Copies of this chain bind each other. A is one copy, B any other.
């Protein structure tokens, strides 16, 4: 367990710092796991590689995450939650301009988190051990992203077609993320986002 915490000196047990250190170690592992997945893909991502990257002993890593599947699904979930929180914090009062919201939503799909999630999804499509966990994770993250999009776009889902409009927008954002995987697609993406925001305004 070296790397999680030193053994406390006799009579000076201090539980808080130990928990804090454990939480910090866990967080370092999760962030290293997402970077590793984004850069090297599933085949190049093992608990040992991530532990080294995070500067944590392999034993400590395995204490936190007994299996490779545990580590990488937890990592994508953690980073997705961080991104969701950050996205809501960007618009604490809601946004006046829907284009800014659409751009921020599309940005969710063009960074290292999307690359990491994509590697995990694609690996899960061929690996039986991974598939149920990633399917569940994808549904959870998808629901949360949809909820954020509806709030930030001030979309009234009681109106016919609004729910599907928002869903299609997020599908488009995912497709734009895929188009950005091998090339820098920024210029085209900005023009598509501008036009689809215009279509969206008419529909909401």
Contact = CB atoms under 8 A, between A and B. Distances in A.
Interface string A121-132: 111111000010
A122 B174 contact: no
A12 interface: no
A124 B123 CA distance: 14
A55 interface: no
Interface stretch (A3-11, A58-66, A189-197): A189-197
Given A164-B191, A164-B192, A202-B202, A182 B124 contact: yes
Interface of A: 39-41, 43-44, 115, 118-119, 121-126, 131, 134-135, 138-139, 142, 161, 164-165, 167-168, 170-179, 181-183, 188, 191-192, 194-196, 198-199, 202-203
A183 B124 CA distance: 11
A126 B39 contact: yes
Given A121-B182, A161-B195, A172-B175, 17 more contacts: A118-B122, A119-B122, A122-B181, A134-B182, A138-B182, A142-B179, A161-B198, A164-B191, A165-B196, A167-B191, A167-B192, A168-B192, A168-B195, A168-B196, A174-B179, A175-B177, A199-B203
